[in-house]
Structures are given as C-alpha cells and as structure tokens.
A and B are shown apart, each in its own frame.
Chain A
Amino acid sequence: MADFVQLLVNGLAIGSVYALAAIGFVIVYSATGVVNFAAGQFVMFGTFAGVATLINAQLAWPFAYSAALLIMALFGLLFFIAVYLPLRRGSIVTIIIGTVAVSITMQNAALLSFGSWPFRLPSPVEGSAVTIGGAIISTHALGVVGVTALMVTCLWLLFNRTSVGIGMRAVAQDLQAAKLMGLKVNRLLALSWVLAAVLAGVAGLMLGPMWFADVNMGDPIALKAFAATIIGGFGSLPGAIVGGLFVGLSEVLGASYVSSAYKDLISFGIMIIFLLVRPQGVFGEKIQDRG
C-alpha cells in the first residue's frame, strides 16, 4: 500500500509535467491550428533556462525561476515571429516538418551551449520528504502537483474571466470573425505562443529535478504530450490535463506492475485504441477530420 501511494504521487507529478506540456501544445493548436512538433523542445529549453539561471548564473531560486520564465516568454515571441508567421500559410505537413526542423535546431543549440553532459537541476525543496501513511514522498513531487493545480486555475481564470483570455478563445473559434469584431488578432496569436512557451518553461523547471537535464529530453516529452492530447481530446484543455495525468500514471504504475520495458507501449497502445474507437478523446472537439 505504501508503495502504491508513493507510485501514485510520482505518477501524478510526472503526469502534471506532461499535462502542462500538453496544455501548451493545445493552446497553440486551437489558436493557430499548428501541430507543434517542437513542443518537447520547448520543455527542454525550459529546463535549460533553469540550468542557465540557477546553476550557471547562481541566482537565488525566486529570481532564477522568474528569469527563466522571462527567457521562455521572449523565446515564445521569437518563435511566433521567426517560425509561425513565415509558415502559417503552409499545409499541415509543411508546418509539421517546419516545426521538426526548428526542433533539430533547438536541440543542437542546447547541445552547443550546454554540452552533452546531463545536469542535475536542484529543486527549491531539495532533499525534503514527507511521510503519508507509511509512504515516503518527496516534497518536490507534491509541489509539482500543487503548482500544476495552481497553473490550471490561473489558466481557467484567464480564459473565462479576462478579456484577453476570452479574446484568445474567440480567435481560436473563428479567426475571421474575431478580426471583424476588431480584436488585435496578431497580438492574441503571439500571446498564445508566449503562453505555451511559459507553460513549457514551468514544466521544464519542475521536470529538471525529477529527470536529468539532458539535451535529448525533448522528444520523449513531445511523444507523451501527443499521447496525452489524443487521449484527453485534441484541442481540449481539460482533456490535456486528464490525458497528461493518465499518461504519467500509466507510465509509473505500468513500469512497476506490468513491465518496465513495455511501459511506454501502454500509453501509445491506449492512444491508438482511442484514435480508432473514440478519436475525439475523453473531452474532444467535434471531429470532421474522420472518414
């Protein structure tokens, strides 16, 4: 039982990171229609922004985290200008290949600046743990779940209670209509990229202490975020959260109770079953892209 609680919390913690990555992916997809294959590299950049501010610049963690997230926000803006705007008229596949090209560049930029040795990114609650019902649980894992819950609440408030957020939803629903209503469409589109980058930054900073900060960490995260999005429902924010937590739990629980070699096959197998049986996922958009 103690083992199970421990695995449950770890699964939820890693699932929270996938959920944040998936939310960033979904925000961009619903606002711009871009299937962003660089989503995993965004998280990797977030972790390395933390490496730069916490380890290289030796800032205290509140400043380091703010600086890292600021870097990510600027990066989101840069991505909007340098990648999204030139590619936006391309077909789905051109955009997929374009974001893949950028992710090759991002991965090698990180490799050139930080080298291939993995870093250990410290956590603000390094080394501390709490005991719940006999299970020893790291405070960091609990913190990750808490921070994710907080982020999700903030997002909900943003999209439902602020004019900026409602404008972003309007753009996602119908770009032409939003433009005709006088919304500053380009600014809102830029904002969705910035938001996605910042969320990826938060995910990266929280993931750093759980995994090693490694320049190759982006691809596995992207794959998990895709699986999470499909399972939860393409284009749905609650779906991204449920899907992310599900993928995290199935990975951790599957590794200990089923098979550690095939742990990833569980989430991808379920993803494919969802695609075949219920492609709109748990909470999904109404699908027309299906024969």
Chain B
Amino acid sequence: MAIRFPLSIAAAILVIGSLLALVLPEYYLRLLNLSAISAVAVIGLNFAFGYAGLISLGHAAFVGMGAYGLAILTTTCGWSPWLAAPAAIVASAVLAALIGFPLLRLRGHYLALATLGLNVSFYIVTSNWISLTGGTNGIARIPELALGSFAFSGEHRFLWLVLVVLATVAAVAAILHASRHGREMMAVRDDEIASEMIGIDTTRVKITAFVLSAICAAIAGCLFALHVRFVAPEDFTYAHSITYLAMLIVGGEGTIIGAILGAILLTFLPEWLRFLGTAYLFFFGLLMLCILVFLPTGLVGLGERLRRPRKRVSPVPVGAPEAT
C-alpha cells in the first residue's frame, strides 16, 4: 500500500519521459535533460525547505560540490565516473553535515542569508583556488559515462540515464515522505517546540533533512558534470540557488510532483519567451511575480483548485497578524 505512490510516480516519470524522448527535437531534449537534472536538485531542496522548513539559499553550492567532486576525481585523479560519482556524493553529504551542524541553529531569514553567504564563499573559492578547480576557466574534458561499450553521449542516450536517476530519486523521496522520518521533518517545520516536547531530536532531524538535500544536490551535480562535461564556478552561483527555490515554490512546496513541474516550467519558460527577443528576461521576472501572487500554492495548488473549484480558501481568522 505504502509503496504504491512511489512506484507510480517513478513509472509516470519513465513513461512520460520516454514518450517525450520519441517526439521532441534535439534542442528540446537538451532542455528536458537540464530540467530533469534540476528536478533532482529541487527534490533535494524539498527535503530541506518543503519538509523541514529550512530556507536554504546555498543549494547550488552542494550541486557544485557534487559536480566539482566528480570533475576533479575523473580528470586530475583519473578515476572512472562510476567510482567518482559515489565518492563525490558521499563527500558532499559529509560536508553538508559538517556545515549544517553549526548553521542549522539559525532559522528564517538568518538561515537564508547564512546559506547565501555559504554559496558566495563557494563561488569565491572555486574561482580562485586555481590549482584544484582551474579557477574561472573551470574543468573541461570530463569523461563520459559508459556502460560497457554503450556511452551515455548525446541528448537522447543521456535522457535515459537522467530519467532513471530522477525516477529513483523521486520514488525514494516519496517513500521517505510517507515514513516516520518525513513526518518528523514536517513536525519540526510546523512547530519546533512542540516536536521537541514529543521527543523528536530536532537537531538530528534538521541535519538529516539538510544532508538528504545535499545528497540529491550532489547527484544532480554529478549528472550536470556528465551531461555538459565541463564545470565552471558560473554554473553554481547563489542565483542558481534562488532558481532552485523558485522552482520549488512555483511548482508547489512540499510536494515531489511540484518540484518536478517547477523545474520543468522554469527551465522551459525562458525559452518559450524567446520570441520577445532581448526583453524575454524582463517578462520572465514579471511572470514569476504573477505566479507568486496569483498561485501562492504553486502549480500543484492550481491542479487542486481546478479539481475542486467550489472549495473556498478559508477566511483569515480574526486578529491574525497582517503585513508583518
């Protein structure tokens, strides 16, 4: 029973993804790959923000750690990507635990700005530690992933890899969501003091959520490095962190489907606006603002509203604080 939703979400990703792979032209496949990679990262962010309520503006730093980890191990050390990817993911998880331990005592916008500072520091270090990261030139010539003689090269083949990873990550996330751990995270998000009262170790729960988010981020980072086969500091700035958060909000925070939909929408939206020429980013910003104002619960919330159009939003209770 509990396994039905995770399996169906994984199956849906694989089926819809494969159908799209058959009909879409090469350029759109590239966007689809990029949005699936983002979706993996955003599902991770959903652990930290959607479930545990930790506002992280440093998610791209963990994506970067995964990508750089893989890039350095495969090029400088000459490892196989099959070995380098797990090593990079474990390293990112350990770093997240070390960083999270002191940082997660903060909450709200303090945590937001601290993680933002973390992301800015990551950028400064990767663009200046030239002997390790190649500085702003980045690291090129990352080898491609191959299964025997079958190399995951080209958009088409890579999409299979990405879809399998995304389906796995989404299914695991759905299992965790329904598990005791997921419920603990949401309890901590909703009321930290109350969850401490009922015996939840809030520090452990927060760090678990943060580490899970970093693991997904690092998986996305490895995929990114294997897809583009080039990493540079520019790909992991705090602006990317904000984009991941925006994807989650636009899709619908706290849901896995929302994370995926948001990642797809915000990857494709700028391309759909290309007909506006140089003004496309101008309208992209305005459109995002409109989504936030008119769809506060995201695309997932829109679906709910269409299904139950008569259900009214409950009125604001008397005496509720406003505008604070």
Contact = CB atoms under 8 A, between A and B. Distances in A.
Interface in B47-88: 49, 55, 57
Interface of A: 32-33, 35, 37, 83, 86-90, 92-94, 96-98, 100-109, 111-112, 175-176, 189, 219, 223, 226-227, 230, 234, 261-262, 264-265, 268-269, 271-272, 275-276, 279, 287, 289-291
A105 B289 contact: yes
B242 A100 contact: yes
Interface string B20-53: 0000000000000000000000000000010000
28 contacts: A32-B324, A35-B109, A88-B322, A89-B323, A90-B292, A93-B249, A96-B242, A96-B245, A101-B246, A101-B288, A101-B289, A108-B282, A108-B285, A175-B324, A226-B113, A226-B116, A230-B113, A265-B124, A268-B117, A269-B121, A271-B113, A271-B114, A275-B110, A275-B114, A279-B110, A290-B110, A291-B104, A291-B192
B108 interface: yes
B200 interface: no
A272 B121 contact: yes
A108 B110 contact: no
Interface residues on B, range: 35 or more
A101 B292 contact: yes
Nearest to A266: B124
A104 B293 contact: no
B107 A86 contact: no
- Residue of A93, A100, A230, A287 with most chain B CB atoms under a 10 A cut-off: A93
- Shortest Cβ-Cβ A-B pairs, 4 listed: A105-B285, A104-B285, A101-B288, A108-B282
Contact of B103 (A103, A219, A268, A276): A276
Contact of B322 (A89, A230, A261, A275): A89
A289 B109 contact: yes
B125 interface: yes
B308 interface: no
B245 A189 contact: no
A97 B104 CA distance: 21
Given A89-B322, A279-B106, 20 more contacts: A87-B289, A92-B55, A93-B253, A94-B249, A94-B296, A98-B292, A101-B292, A102-B289, A107-B281, A108-B282, A223-B120, A262-B128, A264-B120, A265-B125, A275-B113, A276-B103, A287-B110, A289-B107, A290-B110, A291-B203
Contacts of B203: 291
Nearest to A175: B324
A282 B193 CA distance: 28
A227 B110 contact: no
A196 B203 CA distance: 38
Interface string B240-271: 00100110010001000000000000000000
Contacts, number: 152
Contact of B292 (A32, A87, A176, A189): A87
B282 A112 contact: yes
- Residue of B112, B245, B284, B285 with most chain A CB atoms under a 10 A cut-off: B285
B321 A175 contact: yes
B65 to A, nearest CB: 17
Nearest to A35: B109
B249 to A, nearest CB: 5
Given A175-B323, A223-B120, A92 B108 contact: yes
Contact of B321 (A97, A176, A291): A176
A175 B322 contact: yes
Contacts of B282: 104-105, 108-109, 112
Contacts of A90: 292, 296
A246 to B, nearest CB: 15
A7 B104 CA distance: 37
B197 interface: no
Contacts of B120: 223, 264, 268
B63 to A, nearest CB: 18
A285 to B, nearest CB: 11
Contacts of A101: 246, 285-286, 288-289, 292
A97 B113 contact: no
Contacts of B121: 265, 268-269, 272
B245 A97 contact: yes
Contacts of A234: 109-110
A40 to B, nearest CB: 12
B125 to A, nearest CB: 7
Contact of B108 (A32, A272, A289): A289
Nearest to A104: B285
B285 A103 contact: yes
B102 interface: yes
Nearest to B202: A291
B105 A102 contact: no
Contacts of A226: 113, 116-117
Nearest to A291: B105
Nearest to A97: B246
A291 B104 CA distance: 8
Contact of A94 (B117, B281, B292): B292
B113 A104 contact: no
Nearest to B99: A272
B278 interface: yes
Contacts of A272: 114, 117-118, 121
Interface string B282-314: 111110110011001000000000000000000
B324 A97 contact: no
